[in-house]
Copies of this chain bind each other. A is one copy, B any other.
Amino acid sequence: MSQEITNTAPIGVFDSGVGGLTVAREIMRQLPNENIVYFGDTARVPYGSKSKDNIIRFSRQIIRFLKTKNVKAVVIACNTASALALETVQKETDLPILGVIVPGARAAVQETRNNCIGIVGTEATIRSETYNKEIHKLNPDIKVIGKPCPLFVPLVEEGFAKHSITKEVIDIYLSEMKKTDIDTMILGCTHYPLLRSSIREYFGESVHIVNPAYETAMDLKKVLAENGMANPSEGEASYEFYVSDAAEKFTKFADSILPYDVTTTKEVNIEEY
């Protein structure tokens, strides 16, 4: 299949649901020539409480689906899948595959002044310690403090991002971390940028917040350039959206957070891939 892939082929971007749209948005901003095929696994969301074996199986199915769309590269825009499946699927696939963790870890290492970094994410992401490993590859002296915040995703999905309840939940999860010396905090879940202002307010100006989405788009740009795969055409890029369930709800959410009109999302039975 790889011989058919041209530079005008799309980038495949996937996530467990809508969260990865914060990554797609960064790619749209930084690589405006690139076409995108986005897949949100809304039939099996959330990934954060599920096992490594299943996250790998889900990721394989989605990559098989994206290959039917002739993508030239894949971005795993989901921290949990990046933490648990990236290494495995990279070995099996003849396309460049990027996750969000390596770029996020690198940005945090560059940012910290006192070598003390905090990470918030799903249970699976924190338990995997993948951020810790990537940070320690760059600087083994950095102290890393991780904290799973499993209620953040449902709070965002239910529209409570700006609610006082969410501020209380932030305090419950993060009061211990606030007492530590961290000067840098990684938002290790693609939903969390939507809580950014509340988290920033809670920690104050002394803690720098890292959103891996921005760094991931930068990395993608570099990978495409290095492989001579950047799209040279300057016409309007095309964006396609696929989900495994509830296309209409997804379309509304996508339309509200992307800087252009999202009108259709197609539904796919991902278990057939």
Q: Once the chains are docked, how many angstroms separate the CA of A91 from the CA of B158? A: 35
A50 at the binding interface (Cβ < 8 Å): yes
The interface stretch among A2-10, A102-110, A165-173 is A165-173
Stretch in A149-157, A179-187, A193-201 with 4+ CB within 8 Å of B: A149-157
Interface size class, chain A: 20 to 34
Chain B residues whose C-beta falls within 8 Å of the C-beta of A157 in the assembled complex: 49, 150
Given contacts A42-B50, A53-B245, 12 further A-B contacts (CB under 8 A): A43-B44, A43-B54, A44-B44, A49-B246, A51-B245, A54-B245, A57-B269, A150-B158, A151-B154, A151-B160, A154-B154, A163-B172
A residues adjacent to B (C-beta < 8 A): 42-44, 49-51, 53-54, 57, 150-151, 154-155, 157-158, 160, 163, 165, 168-169, 172, 244-246, 249, 269, 271
| Given contact pairs A165-B169, A168-B165, A271-B271, A246 touches B154 in the complex (Cβ within 8 A) | no
Partner of A165, one of B43, B150, B165, B271: B165
CB pair B54–A50 under 8 Å, yes or no, is no
Q: Which residue on chain B has the smallest CB distance to residue A165?
A: B168
Distance in angstroms between the alpha carbons of A158 and B172 in the assembled complex: 13
Select from chain B the residue with minimum beta-carbon distance to A272: B271
| 16 examples of A-B residue contacts, CB within 8 angstroms | A42-B50, A43-B50, A44-B44, A49-B157, A50-B245, A50-B246, A53-B245, A150-B154, A150-B157, A151-B158, A151-B160, A163-B172, A165-B168, A165-B169, A165-B172, A271-B271
Query: Which chain B residues border A160 with CB–CB below 8 Å?
Result: 151
User: How far is A53 from B49 in the complex, measured between Cα atoms in Å?
Assistant: 24
B246 and A51 form a contact (CB under 8 A): yes
**Which residues of B lie under 8 Å from residue A154 when comparing CB positions?**
150-151, 154
